Amino acid sequence: GAGVSQSPSNKVTEKGKDVELRCDPISGHTALYWYRQSLGQGLEFLIYFQGNSAPDKSGLPSDRFSAERTGGSVSTLTIQRTQQEDSAVYLCASSPGPQQETQYFGPGTRLLVL
């Protein structure tokens, strides 16, 4: 079946612009995660949605970052007023349920802020 998909695959933007990154999880998966992978920091957790529960936003680096998950499926990660240090690969993952399940990752969105 279809895996996790993300769009766009690549995004180049100018400093100060807003960007939206999209994630389509595997159908039926209740848990959705966003991570960021950058050269200096490795892979970092950003935010976690589980069903109808309040999301775990503890990994968001600043208030310029926000995410939504509509209808328990598709998620959008928004970065406002982008900075050069936001340049990274943004990875989305989903799992059938919380915590004890394998997470399945999408191919990522490569963001470059000029």
Partner 1 sequence: KQEVTQIPAALSVPEGENLVLNCSFTDSAIYNLQWFRQDPGKGLTSLLLIQSSQREQTSGRLNASLDKSSGRSTLYIAASQPGDSATYLCAATPSNTGKLIFGQGTTLQVKP
d(C-alpha 77, C-alpha 91), whole Å:
10
100 binds partner 1 (CB under 8 A): yes
Q: Pick one of 35, 60, 79, 94: the residue that binds partner 1 (CB under 8 A).
A: 35
98 binds partner 1 (CB under 8 A): yes
Minimum Å gap between C-beta 29 and partner 1 is 12
52 vs 99, beta carbon nearer partner 1: 99
d(C-alpha 86, C-alpha 73), whole Å:
25
What is the maximum span of the chain, computed from C-alpha positions, in angstroms? 39
107 binds partner 1 (CB under 8 A): yes
- Per-residue contact track with partner 1, 56 to 85, x per CB under 8 A? x-xx--------------------------
Q: What is the 3-state secondary structure (H, E, C) of 43-85?
A: EEEEEEEECCCCCECCCCCCCCEEEEEHHHCCEEEEECCCCHH
